[in-house]
Amino acid sequence: MKNDFSNVEYRDKVFSVLNGWGEVKRIDDRDVYCIRIDFENRQSIWIDVNGYTSKADVNPSVFWDEVVIVPPPKPKRKVEKIIEKWLNFYFTDDNRKTYSHSYETKEKADEMCDKKTRLGEACHVIHKYTVEE
């Protein structure tokens, strides 16, 4: 991103992403950070002719016009989900194995089953899967 404040003049209006609108109050060509800006929030900063406040800045923070930042949507994260159930299995009329219902606990599965026709004990099933949310 390239800004050019080399032709800035006293009282020019500029915009800071941190402080909002400000006004050029001093220009001193003897220093790298030669432009002083006073802001409506009573903050004051010095910038170089490219809009940087420090050598450590990755991007300039002062511009000729208001900068509108549109935040991206929240990224989707992969989340592991686990479903644990207890199942009662029975034979169907055509002799195929099937389950009737799923239950949260073994005790509930035992309580709700027809013990005469159930195939063995209730079966514990764990299903792990990943979704984006």
Report the alpha-carbon distance of residue 35 to residue 25 in Å, rounded: 8
| C-alpha dihedral, 67 to 68 to 72 to 73, nearest 10° | 160
State the pLDDT confidence band at 15, using cuts at 50, 70 and 90.
very high
* Model confidence pLDDT, tens digit, residues 20-67: 999 999 999 888 999 999 999 999 999 999 999 999 989 899 999 999
* Model confidence pLDDT, tens digit, residues 72-123: 999 999 999 999 998 888 777 777 777 677 889 888 888 887 776 777 788 8
Determine the pLDDT at residue 133: 86
Q: How far is CA 81 from CA 24, 29, 121, 130, in A?
A: 56, 62, 26, 6
The residue that leads in pLDDT, 24 or 2, is: 24
How much is the pTM? Answer: 0.56
Burial 92-104 (b: 16+ CB within 10 A, else e): eeeeeeebeebbe
Report the alpha-carbon distance of residue 105 to residue 114 in Å, rounded: 16
Looking at residue 54, the DSSP 8-state letter turns out to be S
Domain ranges of the chain: 13-63, 78-132
CB-CB contact of 39 with 19 (8 Å): yes
Residue 29 CB burial class (10 angstroms; 0-12, 13-18, ≥19): exposed
* Model confidence pLDDT, tens digit, residues 114-133: 776 777 788 888 999 999 88
